[in-house]
Amino acid sequence: MASYQDSPELLTVGMALIKKNHPDLASLNIGFLFRDAASISRGYVTMGMAVKVDDRNHVFNGKDVIVEIARDVWDRLDEELQTILMDHELSFVGVELDEKGNTQLTANGRPKVFIKHPDVSEFSTVLDRYGDTHKRFRLAVEAMSVDLKPTK
């Protein structure tokens, strides 16, 4: 069974990226945590994910979104590739805005959050920000995907 740990390191990286690339997320209370190891789903390695927190769980943790990163993956990436991974996960998070650009709220007074689907295999904004470095990131991801898949 997976274990999880709150991460000040991920919080620091995530908040810097929110300030730089995702200002629409600044109003959210986002939790950042490490999962001990990447999970495998449908044959694919899941290195991270962003999850919208439902109203019931929000009562207990006060978070709007949780960003989870696999510790075993994170530790194998250099700082630049860690930044790309975090930017990728934050790019999944969307906030509904009104016509004035203000965050819309639910009936419970929480920000209206949704999880986006990538516009390509990657978010075009992440590709634009990292260009050729992103190619190195994809190669690292592919290599780790092979290394991290369990053998039968």
Say what the pLDDT of residue 44 is.
Answer: 79
Say what the pLDDT of residue 126 is.
Answer: 79
Read off the amino acid at residue 25: L
Which helix (H) or strand (E) element contains residue 33? strand 30-35
Of 113, 18, 92, nearest to 48 (Cα)? 92
Residues contacting residue 3 through CB under 8 Å, at least 6 positions apart = 35, 36
Separation of alpha carbons 77 and 18, rounded Å: 20
Say what the pLDDT of residue 40 is.
Answer: 85
Say what the pLDDT of residue 146 is.
Answer: 62
Separation of alpha carbons 109 and 64, rounded Å: 11
Sheet holding 30-35, edge to edge: 4-6, 30-35, 65-70, 48-52
Side-chain-side CA neighbours of residue 67 (13 Å)? 27
Average pLDDT by stretches of 10, the chain with 152 residues: 94 98 95 94 87 93 96 95 96 94 90 86 76 75 65 52
Domain ranges of the chain: 4-148
Which residue matches tokens 């700082």?
79
The sign one gets for the Cα dihedral 69, 145, 148, 143 is: negative
